[in-house]
Amino acid sequence: MMREFESRDGQMMIGGVSAASIAEEFGTPVYVTDEQRVRENYRRIHGAFSRFMDTRIHYACKANTNLAILRILEQEGSGIDAVSIGEVRTCLKAGFTPDRIMYTGVNVSDRELKEVSDLGVMINLDSVSEMERLAKIAPGYPVSFRITPGVGSGHGAKVITGNKGAKFGIPLDEVVGTYARAKDLGFDIKGIHAHIGSGGQSAEPFSEMMEVLIGLADEIAELGIDLDFIDMGGGIGVPYRPQEEEMDVEELASVITDMITEETGIGTLILEPGRYIICDSTVLLTRVNDVKDAGTKKYVGCDAGFNTLIRPAMYDSYHYVALANKFGKACTAKYDVVGPICETGDYLAHDRVLPDPTEGDIVAVYNAGAYGFSMSSNYNSRPLCAEVLVNDGKAELIREAETVEEQWRHQIIPERLRK
């Protein structure tokens, strides 16, 4: 079930703090993360798998790279799944040591391969080209390989990654030959990895992927290569709708670990959850600027648009919305919740029943922690918003809101245009 929040005198509470007071103190739009929920989510998934076998959780930090949130996960013992040199360096700054980070890039440049290898971070190779180039840059480097399992899963076509013909990974018919070539090149081969997509709610695609990985691991063993780990990637979904069922991670853990321990001698499983850990820990708060009846439709116009949260516009994703300062009040009519961007496609929610909205109300957009701030932009020259962390009834700023002036800091007007 989707996460529920406490209501106190008609006010939505987040981590013991009222949403309205956060909006008043820090301004809107603002992302608000509940520290204890992050910790609970991490412990739940790590505990589900680690009771069966040695399991390393590598948080897929592309979901959310705020330094304070990374520090929380570093304290919990998490590792990192990074997809760019920027993410690698951000996680090092947050306190992760290189041995706790795995780099899984796609279409990687020689420059980035050198930067990552110079930092001592394990590289999960995505292609034969990348392997051959890394052999010249960092001979004998510790690596694993991302393979294309031919199994895809996800909340939409744009986030399915493991299907046949995907841009990611080594095609199935090339995997064994690639490992043989890697051995000849002298690489320190550590593991095998696959990722099927983002936001999957069914265990079946994960078990299908694992069958593929186990079969390949057996063939690779015949080459005299003993793998240390199998990396199942991420993609474990969370419920975005009130009555939506959540993934049974206990059952998933039992099925996956049984397959590995019964069919291979590999001792370690790596998981790369991002959404599962951070998604429901965070709410986007946005203030109502305008309420409009357009005849055929009613609108609640807010100060957050697809520049702040792009998922509804980009993926047609559903995010539950509520009026945080009228929490639990009876709903009276349907509204589209829309933003300030000069585009028809700028919306946060369609056809939602809400209590009578008025200017100044606070709209809470649920499940905003994953791919919320990390995908936000300056479109329409709107500054990036603030981020706040709540814990034990206290709210702390963990990212200042950007100013308009800060958007100009890297722009240069040539002298000839100043005359």
Distance, in Å, from the CA atom of 257 to the CA atom of 41, rounded to the nearest integer, reads 20
If asked whether residues 74 and 103 sit together in one domain, one would say yes
Residue 184's pLDDT band, with cuts at 50, 70 and 90, is very high
Query: Average pLDDT for residues 362-369, to the nearest whole number?
Result: 98
The pair of three-digit structure tokens given for residue 414, joined into one six-digit string: 């040539």
Lowest model confidence (mean pLDDT) among 16-20, 72-76, 152-156: 152-156
Same domain flag for 289 and 271: no
Most confident segment among 187-201, 229-243, 297-311: 297-311
| Final residue of a structural domain among 261, 278, 295 | 278
Distance CA 280, CA 37 (A): 8
What are 342-357's pLDDT values in tens digits? Answer: 999 999 999 999 999 9
Assigned domain for 1 exists: no
The answer to whether residues 287 and 337 touch, using CB atoms and an 8 Å cutoff, is no
Examine the domain organization and report whether 117 and 200 are in the same domain. Answer: yes
User: What does the alpha-carbon distance between residue 228 and residue 225 come to, in Å, rounded to a whole number?
Assistant: 10
Model pLDDT, residue 166: 59
Residue 128 reports pLDDT greater than 80: yes
Q: Are 312 and 363 in contact (CB under 8 A)?
A: no
- Co-location of 266 and 369 in the same domain: no
The answer to whether position 190 is within a domain reads: yes
For 386-411, how does the pLDDT look when each residue is reduced to its tens digit (9 = 90+)?
A: 999 999 999 999 999 999 999 999 99
**Hey, what amino acid is at 117?**
S
Assign 157 a pLDDT band (cuts: 50, 70, 90): very low
User: Mean pLDDT over residues 132-140, rounded?
Assistant: 98
pLDDT exceeds 50 at position 172: yes
**Could you tell me the CATH number of the domain that includes residue 173?**
3.20.20.10
Q: Do the Cβ atoms of 65 and 81 come closer than 8 Å?
A: no
Left (φ > 0), alpha (ψ -120 to 50) or beta: where does 192 sit? beta
- Total structural domains in the chain? 2
Query: Is the per-residue pLDDT at 154 higher than 50?
Result: no
Same domain, 319 and 267: no
**Mean pLDDT score, 222-247:** 91
Is 231 strand, coil or helix? strand
Q: Is the residue at 11 inside a domain? A: yes
Alpha-carbon gap, residue 403 to 135, rounded angstroms: 45
Q: Residue 160: what pLDDT?
A: 45
What are the residue numbers of the active site? 342
User: What confidence tens digit (pLDDT) does each residue in 62-114 have?
Assistant: 999 999 999 999 999 999 999 999 999 999 999 999 999 999 999 999 999 99
Task: Say yes or no: 377 and 310 in one domain.
Answer: yes
**Does one domain contain both 244 and 340?**
no
Kindly state whether residues 189 and 157 are assigned to the same domain: yes
Is 370 a member of any domain? yes
Cα(175)–Cα(222) distance, rounded to whole angstroms? Answer: 13
pLDDT of residue 159: 42
Give the range of the structural domain holding residue 102, as residue numbers without chain letter.
35-278
Same domain assignment for residues 182 and 239: yes
pLDDT tens track for 317-345: 999 999 999 999 999 999 999 999 999 99
CATH number of the domain bearing residue 324:
2.40.37.10
Rounded to whole angstroms, the Cα distance separating 361 from 380 reads: 24
pLDDT over 80 at 259, yes or no: yes
Do residues 27 and 40 both lie within one domain? no
Tokens (6 digits) for 351: 């056809």
The domain boundary, picked from 246, 278, 310, lies at 278
Residue 55 in domain: yes
pLDDT at position 299 is: 97
pTM listed for this prediction: 0.94
**Tokens representing residue 322 in the block:** 């509520």
Largest CA distance in the chain: 75
Residue 360 lies in a domain: yes
> Has residue 271 got a pLDDT over 90?
yes
| CB-CB contact of 146 with 194 (8 Å) | yes
- Asked which of 95-104, 200-209, 254-263, 399-408 is least confident by mean pLDDT, the reply is 200-209
User: Which residues are CB-contacts of 22 (< 8 A; sequence separation ≥ 6)?
Assistant: 14, 30, 32, 285, 388, 390, 395
